[in-house]
Amino acid sequence: MYKEKLSLKFVHLYPDEMNIYGDMGNVLTLKRRCEWRGIRLEISKVTLESNDFKKGDIYFMGGGQDNDMYKVFEDLKNSKKDFLKEELESKKQFLLICGGFQLFGNHFIDFQGRNINGLGILPLETKAPSDNLHDRCLGNIVTEIHSKHFEEIKNNYGEKPSKYLVGFENHGGQTYYTDNSLTPLGKVLVGSGNNSKEKIEGVLHENIIGSYMHGSLLPKNPHLADLIIGRALTQKYGEEFKLEPLEDKIEWDAHKAILRKMGILNTD
Amino acid sequence: MEFQFVITIWFVKILTLVLRITKKGRGTALPGLIIEKYFPHLIPYILQKSPYTILITGTNGKTTTRTFLSNILQTKYKVLQNRSGSNLIRGIVSEIVSQTNLFGQLDFEYAIFEVEEASMPKITKYIKPEQIIVTNLFRDQLDAYGEVDRTQRFIQQAIDSSQNTQLILNGDDPRVNSMSVGNKNNVQYFGIKDKLIGNFNYEGKKSEALPNIEFAKNIEITNTLGTKFKYNAQEFHINIPGYFNVYNAMASILSALNVGINIDDIRTALTKTKPAFGRGEIININDKKLHIFLVKNPAGLNLNLDLLKNIENINLCLVLNDNTADGKDVSWIWDSNMEILNEYNLNSIICSGTRSEDMLLRCKYALDSENFDAVKIDEMKDINNLLENIRKSEENNYYILLTYTAMLELRKIITGNSLNV
C-alpha cells in the first residue's frame, strides 16, 4: 500500500450505449486492481445530451450496436469533441474497444454504405462489408504485443509478464490505418485483428489504446490493465509512483488457458 | 403432393429407424435433417400440416412457457409440441413428421412450438400462427445471433407477415411491447406490478401505460423457491423455481384463455407443472439434491443469482462451457451482476466447465477481498470431477448454474442420457 492516499478518476464514455459485451469487465478490472493497491478509483460517466461531466485520468469507451453508435457519434461531435481532444493533449489515458476504437478514426462506413465521419483523432478508417454473420471477424484471438510497447509493459508490470494478449473478437468492420504513424497493439497469432488481411490488432498510439478485443480484454490481460493504471499514476503523481505488484495467479491461469486452447502454449 | 408426402413419411420413418439401430444417427432432429437434405421442397407442405398453432419466441423463458401452456391445453386437447433445443425449422419439421402416422395424418388439435428468434420469419412464411407469444428480448449470445437490434428485426418481420394473429407480448419489455406498432394483429400484454420488476434489466425507454395489459401482483417467493401471485384477484401458485416464471405463467394464462380453457383448470395445471429440463429441476444423486439452473445470458444469470441469494450456507457450482450451443464468447459473464455474491451466505463455490478459469477469475473480481478470502473456492474443469467431488462431500444440497452443453453433459453422466426426459 502507498503511504500517500492516491486516487484516480475514471470516466466511462456512454456506458448505456457503448457496452456491447463484457466491456464492464474492463471497468471492474481497473477498479479492483486500484483498490487492491489502496488507490481510490472514482468512476463517473459521460452520457448522451448531458454536458455535466467531470474530467478524468482514464477514459474508456466500449463497443456498441450500430444504431447506438450513430447517436453517440452525433453527441460526441456536437458537444464533446473539443473536450476530449484537450484531454488527449494533456496526456490522459484512453482505452477504446471495438466501436469506441472505430469512432476515434477518420471514417466509419457501415454495411448499408452510410458514412460517419469519425473524430479524426486516429488516422484510420473502418468499413463494414455486410450485415452477414459469416462476414464477421469472430472468435478467440491471440496477439503478440508489439515489441515497441513490450519493454514499457514489462517495466511497468514488474515481474515478467506474458508477451501475449488474449481475447474474443466480434466485429463486422474492417479497419485500416491511413498513414504509417500508428503502431499496432499486437501482431495477430490467432484470429483476424483490425481486418482479415494484415494480421495486426488494435493500436497503441501515445496515450491511446484501441482494440477489437472483448473477453473482457483487461481481466485476462493484467499486464495491459496495469499499463493503463501505471501510466495514469505517473501522469498524475510523477515517476516515483511505481506500480506495486499484485498476486495474479488466477489471472495468468485464465490467460494461459486461452493460449493452450488456441495452440500457442503446449498442453501438458 | 399428399401421395408424395405419405411416401416420404414412410421413407423417413424407415431411414430414421435404420440410422438409430445402426447408431449412425441420433437426436430428435434426425427426421428433420433427412427432410432438409433430401426433400427440402416438402418443408412448406409439412409445416402447413400444423393445426391451430401457438408460436413462442424470445431470448429467455421459451421452454418454461411451452411447458406451462402444453400442460394446460393437454387437460382438454391433443397437443403437438417440439422439445427444448429443437427450436429451429428442422426441429419443428422433425416433430410434425415423427408424429404423422403412416396414412399421413397428424392427429392433434393444437400445436405449441418454441422457436429460436432468428427462425421466426422462416416459420411464419409457411405456418399462419393463431397466436404468437414473445417472452422478452435480452442480450443473448452475440457471437451466434449478432446484435439484439438484429434479433428484434427478425421477430418483427414474423409478426408483420402474420395476419389475424393474436399477439401476446411482454408489456414490461420495451423491445417487445413495441412490436405491435403498425400492424393489424390483435394484441394482449402481460406484465408484473411488483417491486421485483426492478430486477429485470429490460432495454429501452419505459413505455406509456398500455391498454389491454394484464398484471400479476403480490408476488411471493415460497420456501421451495416457487412463487405465488395474484391475477384478477385470484391466487396462482407455481412450483417451478424462479419468480421470473411469473411472466411465463402469465403468457400461458392469456394464451389458454384465448383457446377457451377455464381459469380453474388453468390454475390447477400451472400448479402441477414440473420444471422443464434444467429449469430449476432437482436431480438426486446418492442422498444429495442437485438443483439445476440453466443460464445462457446475463439476464438469466442475474435473475437466478438473485433468486438464490437468501439460501443459508449455500454450495454454488458455476459451470461455464464455450461450445457453439453455449456461445463461444464468454464475455457475457462480465456483464452479469455477479457482485451480488457479496450478499450471499456462501459455504463453497466450485467453478467448472471448459472455461472454468474464466469463471474463477470472474468470482475473484466479483467478490470483495474479505469475502473472496473467506469462501472455499475451487476450480475443477472436468464435470466428471465436479460430480465425483459432490458425491464424496458431506453437503446435501448443491445449486448448479450451468450453460447449455454443460447441462447436457451433466445429465448424461448422471442418467446416461442427455436428452429431454
DSSP B152-210: HHHHHHHHHH--SPEEEEETT-HHHHGGGTTS--EEEEEEEESGGGGG----SPPPPPP
Shortest Cα–Cα distance, A166 to chain B (Å):
12
- Residue B387 sits in a domain of what CATH number? 3.90.190.20
**d(C-alpha B37, C-alpha B197), whole Å:** 46
A78 Cβ partners below 8 Å, 6+ apart? none
Chain B CB contacts of A28 under 8 Å are: 334, 365
pLDDT at B418: 58
Q: Look up residue B234 and give its three cell numbers.
A: 385470484
pLDDT tens string B300-337 = 999 999 999 999 999 999 999 999 999 999 999 999 99
Averaged pLDDT, B351-361:
98
B228 and B126 belong to one structural domain: yes
Confidence of residue B15 (pLDDT cuts 50, 70, 90): confident
Contact A219 B335 (CB under 8 A): no
Residues B207, B294, single domain; the answer is no
A137 is catalytic: no
**Pick from A36, A219, A250: CB nearest B334:** A219
Tell me the residue range of the domain where B408 lies.
279-415
Other beta carbons less than 10 A from residue B131's beta carbon? 25
Q: Do B147 and A66 touch (CB under 8 A)?
A: yes
Kindly state whether residues B93 and B232 are assigned to the same domain: yes
| Residue B421, in any domain of the structure | no
Cβ neighbours around A31 below 10 Å, total: 18
In a domain, B36, yes or no: yes
Do residues B259 and B286 share a domain? no
Same domain for B360 and B213, yes or no, is no
Give the number of beta-carbon pairs within 8 Å between A and B: 78
Indicate which CATH number applies to the domain containing B157: 3.40.1190.10
Are B326 and B240 in the same domain? no
Does the beta-carbon distance from B334 to A24 stay under 8 Å? yes
B346 contacts: CB under 8 Å, gap ≥ 6: B313, B314, B316, B371, B374, B375
User: Is A168's CB within 8 Å of B329's CB?
Assistant: yes
Total residue count of chain A as it appears in this document:
268
Asked if B268 and B296 sit in the same domain, the reply is no
A24, A168, A214, A216, B169 from A62: Cα distances, Å: 8, 14, 9, 10, 31
Q: What DSSP element (H or E) covers A39? A: strand A39-46
Instruction: Give the CB-side neighbour count of residue B200, counting CA atoms within 13 A.
Output: 27
Count of domains for chain B: 2
Distance CA A167, CA A186 (A): 12
Tell me which of B146-150, B281-285, B401-405 is least confident.
B146-150
Interface pTM (ipTM) of the complex? 0.97
Query: Do B190 and B165 meet the contact criterion of CB atoms below 8 Å apart?
Result: no
Judge: B364–A253 Cβ closer than 8 Å, yes or no: no
Joined grid coordinates for residue A122: 486516429
What pTM was computed for the model?
0.95
Q: Tell me which residues of chain A have a C-beta less than 8 Å from any C-beta of chain B.
A: 19-25, 28-29, 32, 35-36, 65-67, 131, 133, 138-140, 168, 170, 214-216, 219-220, 250-251, 253-254, 257
B367 part of a folded domain: yes
Nearest-CA neighbor of A50 among A101, A11, A8, A95?
A11
Domain boundary among B245, B272, B299: B272
Q: Beta-carbon neighbour count of residue A213 at 10 Å?
A: 32
State the DSSP H helix or E strand holding residue B126, giving kind and residue range, or none if neither: none
Q: Which residue reads 402447413 in cell numbers?
A: B48
Which residue among A146, A171, A205, A214 is the active-site one? A214
Do B362 and A251 make contact, defined as CB atoms within 8 angstroms?
Answer: no
Interval B76-97: pLDDT, tens: 999 999 987 788 899 999 999 9
Q: What is the pLDDT of residue B361?
A: 98
Q: What is the pLDDT of residue A206?
A: 96
* CATH class belonging to A6-261: alpha beta
Please report the pLDDT score of residue B394 as a whole number.
95
**Claim to verify: residue B216 and residue B162 sit in the same structural domain:** yes
**Confidence (pLDDT) at B263:** 97
User: Who among A32, A170, A257 is closest to B142 (CB)?
Assistant: A170
Q: Which of A34, A98, A171, A223 is catalytic?
A: A98
Same structural domain, B264 and B291: no
Kindly state the average pLDDT of the residues B183-206: 93
B150 CB neighbours in chain A (<8 A) are 131
Judgement on whether residues B127 and B158 belong to the same structural domain of the protein: yes
Could you tell me the pLDDT band of residue B11, with boundaries at 50, 70 and 90? confident
Q: Where are the domains of chain A?
A: 6-261
Contacts of B369 in chain A (CB under 8 A): 35-36
- Band the pLDDT of B420: cuts 50, 70, 90: very low
Nearest by CB to residue A168, choosing from B139, B331, B357, is: B331
In the prediction, which pLDDT does B421 show?
38
| Cα-only R_g, chain B | 22
> Which one of B227, B245, B272 terminates a domain?
B272
Whether residue B231 sits in one domain with residue B332 = no
A138 CB neighbours in chain B (<8 A) are 143
Contact residues for A143 (Cβ-Cβ < 8 A; gap 6+): A164, A165, A185, A186, A187, A188, A189, A191, A193, A201, A202, A213
- B349 and B252 within one domain: no
Given B217, B247, B272, which residue is the final one in a domain? B272
Q: Do A131 and B150 touch (CB under 8 A)?
A: yes
Task: Note whether B51 and B102 are within 8 A (CB).
Answer: no
pLDDT tens, position by position, B120-167: 999 999 999 999 999 999 999 887 777 898 899 999 999 999 989 999
Residue spans of chain A under pLDDT 70: 1, 3, 267-268
- Section B264-276 average pLDDT: 96
Give A-chain residues touching B357 at CB under 8 angstroms.
Answer: 250, 253-254, 257
CB contact under 8 A, A219 and B146: no
